[in-house]
Amino acid sequence: MGRRINVVLSDATVRTLDRLSRPGQPSRLIEHAVQHYLMTNSPRALGKRLKAAALRDRDLDLEIAGAWAAVHQEQWQRFEVPTKRRRGTGRNKAKSN
């Protein structure tokens, strides 16, 4: 058994409701819409969606980390290789002749 309540809706919402619902059954459409909203926007539903996304994307972070590891290693190799300076080409060498 349902319970009667009074709600205030905008005119545009009432027109849309009248257009989409069967004659005499706007309450059923509102009931389905509210149930859907509650199931998809509740904290529990949000937790379920976040868990599903984490499970779906669990390998994505490893893939991205692997791709960037090569770039990171290449940069470190550039810094670790000492650069050899040529001796005797500086300003002081030219003046001493």
Q: What is the pLDDT of residue 72?
A: 78
Looking at residue 63, its amino acid is E
C-alpha 67/C-alpha 57 separation (Å) is: 16
**87 pLDDT exceeds 80?**
no
**22-54 pLDDT per residue, tens:** 888 899 999 999 999 988 888 988 999 999 999
Number of alpha carbons in the 13 Å side-chain half-sphere of residue 64: 5
Residue predicted with more confidence, 28 or 72: 28
Identify the residue with better confidence: 72 or 7: 7
pLDDT band at 82 (very low <50, low <70, confident <90, very high): low
Residue type, 36: H
pLDDT over 90 percentage in the chain? 31
When the pLDDT of each residue in the chain is averaged and rounded to a whole number, the result is 82
Residue listed under structure tokens 């003046």? 95
Average pLDDT, integer, range 69-89? 69
CA distance 7 to 42: 21
